[in-house]
Structure 1
Amino acid sequence: MQRVCLALPTMRSCPDTIAELAEEAAYAVATFGVEVHLLVLDTTDAVAFAENAGAVAALEPTPGVVVHHLGEARQREFLRRVAERSGAADPELLLDMMLPPAVAYGSCVNRLFLGAAALGCTSAHLRNDDADFQVVDGRKVFPIHHELLSIGRPAGEAAAVVSRSELDPADADKPVMLVSGSFIGELNVDISEIHELDPAVYREVVRLWTPPVWSEEEQDAMVDVSFKGAGSEPFTTDESVLGVPDIWDVYMCNIALDHRAYEVLPLLPSIETIGSDYALLHAMVHSRLPGVVHNRHIVNYYTPERRTGSGFVNYQLRFVKFLLSMLYLYPVYGGMIDLGRGLLDERHGLKVEPLIDLVRGSVDWDRAGNEHCLDVLDRSYRKLGGKYAELADVVAERRQQLLDEARADAERWAVLVEAWAALVAASRAEGLGASEVPA
């Protein structure tokens, strides 16, 4: 029986999300006859963890669905065993990258990948705790429907289960290792208030994340589509397309990935940095692997704590660090584009060697671009005034630290990429431990 991992990282109380994902898991079992392991990696405080644990305990038992709810201590125990078993020279460094004492979006997904490997799953289906499923005629629109139709199958076979195929016949034997929908609702980066205050400032700020080698026209076109997902059009009927996806049509919180992808390349272990979880998607798209894009989009929303007080500053600093990370990521992405299908081995899987070379090569990139980025942000935030002027003061005070951390993140990613295969193998050998909760 095919075993899959429906995965949720969370750092907040989210009992409703847990209940919804259990419904999606039950749907997958009933529709596709798979075994679903619902893996909730929870780094909340004791109160929120108890609320989430209560939601798990309240789930109706469903044959074929197994829930794993791991708090921070249990995750640390698992990761320590894995790091030590991997034979790494510095297991403590790996443990710190996998479970740092701060918000790390790439790290939490990397933990899910290792958890999926430990559970013997063939695919990971990623969701988020600040999104809802669409509801049509009283029924929830589960993305796992399209995911399980195609994930892991030869693309030539998947052509029979999609609405439209744009598959190159030469790619028919390649596996579908990515199936994704997008999102509707709020921007997936919480900066819409900047646009409301001053559209010109918004454009200038968002342009900072566009490739600097692009023309102004290309950069402006990227600004127009950035962070908007599928817009606001609600689901009506299923549509799915097989082919090489556009990077703009895939969303890391509404995606299924085959184990042959995420067991090769981990995500950036950057702390307090949004957008650090997309490098793997770039590798898959730029290597021209076939994938499926569908329209079972989730509904994105934002929790209120990131819009006021310290929550506002913390979130916006993550956005600043995201902008700074692009200095080191764009050379990697550009190299992926240049290599194209050269990133794949004879079995159509990603090769780690060229990826390591690209990541290593980005570390010493001239940071002048990031100096300019911070100058533009300082000017833009002060023009907006109010809490944004206060944010500018915080960014100015931490300027050198932010520049240093962006480079250090690139260095740490290189270390993790080199250690990743051993960590995956150690996870498979270790297993996840006694964490199963029947559902």
Structure 2
Amino acid sequence: MRRVCLTLPTNRPSAATIRAVAEEAAHGARGSDTEVHLLVLDSSDPATLAAHREVVAALSPAPGVVVHHYDEDRQRTFLRKVIERSGAASPGRLLDLVLPSGTSYGACTDRAFLLAEALGCSSVHRRDSDSRYQYLDGEPVFPFPLELATLGPPASEVSGRVTRSRLDPAFADRPVSLVGGSFVGEMSVDLDEIRRLDPAVYEEVVGLSVPEGMPELWRRNLIAESFRGAGNTAFTRDLTTLTRVSPTRVDMCNIALDREVYSRVPLPPALDTIGSDYFLIHLVHDAGLPGVLHNRHIVNYHTPERRSGAGFLAYHLRYAKFLLSGPLFEAVYDTLRQAGDALLDGDGRIRPEAVAPALRAGAAVDRTRGAERLAALTGAYRRLGGRYAEAAHRLTGHAEELLDEVHRDLADFALLADAWPALTLAARTLGGPGPANGAVRGSRAQDLAHGSADGAAHTPMSGTTGDRTDRRTAGSPA
């Protein structure tokens, strides 16, 4: 029986999303030879965490589904055991990278990858706390069953399960390594207020995210499409494409990755940086690994905390760091594109040793372009006035610090990438066999956190949590 991990990172009230994702897990497991481990990684405040515990405890049992609800105490205990077992150098630094004291979209997903390895899962399927499902004829449109049907086998086997193929036949023997869709609804990055205030400033602000050297027609199309996903197109029927999936066509709230990808290379653990969790989508594409692009788009919405007070300033700091890191990652992605097949070993799997040098080269990129982007962003914000002018003042006052941070973040990513294969191997060998089926079984997640080799029995759709959390993971890449 195949085991898979459906994960929901959160640091905000997410009761409705937990219930909805649990329903998706049950739907995917129903009638399939799949055991679904629903993993909720919870960094909420104590009151919200307590409410989430009640939600998890009240979930109806579902055959083939086991729920793990991890607060940060349990995550930390698990991670310490993995790092110690790996024998990696700088264990304290590695712990800080995968469980940092700030918001990191990549780090929270890296923790899901390590826990999925410990649970013996063959894939990770990620959702976000600020998203919902579309409905068709009164039924939710879940991506999960489609992900289960197409992720993992060679592309040649999957070609008959999709609507169409646009994959180069030369890649037909390679495994489908990514299955993803996009979103409908509100923008993934919350910039629509700027568009309403001043469309010209909006184009300037969004245009800063477009790589330099892009032809003007392409540049304008990218500005028009950026952060808008699939727009507001309602789902009516499946349209699935076997292809090399473009990073611009999928979102991390609606994605599944094969373990042969995430067990070899992690996501960047950068702090306070929108989009820092998209690296593996680029890597899969540039390595020539097949994927399936689908139209079961998630419904995105914005939570209110990012639109007022300290939340507004924090959000625009994250957007600024995204822009500042752009030139560094453009250099990384250019190196990966040029490497192409050299990113894979003889069995068609990612070579970690081919990736880390590209990261170090990116960290050495000159600061000039980043400084120019920050100056352009703050100038645009000042023209908007009001709280945007206040954000510009804050960003300008920390300009040198922010430029230092984006370079240090990429160097830290290289450090984590060096240690990652040892960490995932340690996680995979840390515990005993997991549950064999959907009957009453122990959840190894709890046992691994406490160092036990024996599972403590509990029913599917039940979970346990610790007592204390910090607000360190994020439920959305935006």
Q: TM-score range by the shorter chain?
A: over 0.9
Residue of structure 2 equivalent to 1:118: 118
Q: Secondary structure at the match of 1:132?
A: strand
| Residue type of the alignment partner of 1:113 | F
What residue is the counterpart of 1:341 in the other structure?
Answer: 341
1:169 to partner: Cα distance:
2.4
Cross-structure match for 1:188: 188
C-alpha distance in structure 1 between counterparts of 2:85 and 2:392, whole Å: 45
User: Is the contact made by 2:324 and 2:371 (CA closer than 8 Å) also made in structure 1?
Assistant: no
Contact kept in structure 1, 2:235 and 2:295, CA below 8 Å: yes
Report the equivalent of 1:361: 361
Query: 1: distance between equivalents of 2:65 and 2:298?
Result: 22
CA contact (8 A) 1:68 1:437 kept: no
The one-letter amino acid of 2:460's match is P
- Contact 2:61 2:459 (8 Å CA) reproduced: no
Aligned residue in 1 for 2:259: 259
Distance apart, 1:437 and its partner CA: 6.1
SS at match of 1:67: strand
Q: Does 1:329 align with 2:329?
A: yes
Write the mapping of 1:39-438 to structure 2, written as runs, cut at 5 A.
39-431=39-431, 432-434=445-447, 438=460
Q: What secondary structure, in the 3-state scheme, does the structure 2 residue paired with 1:438 have?
A: coil
For 1:133 and 1:301, the matched residues in 2 are separated by 11
Q: Is the 8 A contact 1:344 1:351 kept in 2?
A: yes
Report the 3-state secondary structure (helix = DSSP H, G, I; strand = E; otherwise coil) of the residue aligned with 1:4: strand
Q: Which amino acid aligns with 2:199?
A: P
CA deviations on 1:303-351 (whole Å, 9 max, x unpaired) are 0110011111111110001111112111011111111222111111111
Q: Distance in 2 between matches of 1:91 and 1:388?
A: 40
Q: Give the Cα–Cα distance (whole angstroms) in 1 for the partners of residues 328 and 87 of structure 2.
A: 28
Shift of 1:429: 1.7
Alpha-carbon distance in structure 1 between the residues aligned to 2:288 and 2:223 = 24
Q: Which whole-Å CA distance do the structure 2 matches of 1:402 and 1:169 have between them?
A: 45
Secondary structure class of the residue paired with 2:30: helix
Q: CA-to-partner distance for each residue in 1:405-438, whole Å, 9 max, x for gaps?
A: 1111011001000000011011112243437762
Q: Identical aligned pairs, as a percentage? A: 48
| TM-fit CA distance, 1:374 | 1.2
The question of whether the paired residues in 1 share the 8 Å contact of 2:239 and 2:295 is answered with yes
Q: Separation in 2 of the partners of 1:171 and 1:362? A: 28
Contact 1:32–1:148 (Cα < 8 Å) also in 2: no
1:215 Cα deviation (Å)? Answer: 3.4
State the Cα distance separating 1:173 from its structure 2 match.
1.4
Provide runs of 4+ in structure 1 moved above 6 Å: none
Secondary structure in 2 matching 1:430? coil
Could you tell me whether the CA contact under 8 Å between 1:133 and 1:142 is conserved in 2? yes
**Distance in 2 between the 1:408 and 1:396 partners?**
19
Query: RMSD across aligned C-alpha pairs, in angstroms?
Result: 1.2
Distance in 2 (CA, whole Å) between partners of 1:217 and 1:170 is 31
- Inter-partner Cα distance in structure 2 for 1:285 and 1:137: 35
Contact 1:78 1:433 in 2 (8 A): no
Q: 1:143 & 1:401 partners in 2: Cα distance?
A: 41
Alignment partners' CA distance in 2, 1:167 and 1:31? 30
CA distance in 2, matches of 1:55, 1:333: 41
**Which one scores higher on RCO, CA 8 angstroms, separation ≥ 6?**
2
The offset of 1:33, in angstroms, is 2.6
Distance 2:140 2:160 in 1: 24
| Mapped partners of 1:337, 1:192: distance in 2 | 32
Q: Distance in 2 between matches of 1:428 and 1:350?
A: 18
CA–CA separation in structure 2 for the residues paired with 1:102 and 1:261: 26
Return the alpha-carbon distance in structure 2 between the equivalents of residues 213 and 413 of structure 1. Answer: 26
Separation (CA, whole Å) in 2 of partners of 1:399 and 1:186: 30
CA drift at 1:219: 2.4
Instruction: Using the TM superposition, give the Cα deviation of residue 140 of structure 1 relative to its aligned residue in structure 2, in angstroms.
Output: 0.5
The CA distance in 1 between the partners of 2:368 and 2:158, in whole Å, is 46
Could you list the per-position Cα deviations for residues 274-319 of structure 1 after superposition, in whole angstroms to 9, with x for gaps in the alignment?
Answer: 1000111101011121110011000000001100111111111100
CA distance in structure 2 between the partners assigned to 1:89 and 1:413 by the alignment: 15
Bigger shift: residues 121-130 or 242-251: 242-251
For residues 357 and 236 of structure 1, the distance between their equivalents in structure 2, rounded to whole angstroms, comes to 45
Contact persistence 2:12–2:48 (CA under 8 A) = yes
Size of the alignment, in residue pairs? 439
Any stretches of 5+ residues in structure 1 without a counterpart? none
CA distance in 2, matches of 1:51, 1:433: 19
Identify which range, 67-76 or 199-208, moves more after superposition.
199-208
Q: Which amino acid aligns with 2:226?
A: S
The equivalent of 1:12 in structure 2 is 12
Deviation at 1:401, TM superposition (A): 1.1
Give the 3-state SS of the residue equivalent to 2:8 in structure 1: strand
Distance 2:187 2:63 in 1: 37
C-alpha distance in structure 2 between counterparts of 1:392 and 1:334, whole Å: 31
Q: Any conservation in 2 of the 1:8–1:39 contact (CA below 8 Å)?
A: yes
Asked if structure 2 preserves the Cα contact closer than 8 Å seen for 1:131 and 1:299, the reply is yes
**CA–CA distance in structure 2, aligned partners of residues 200 and 341 of structure 1:** 41
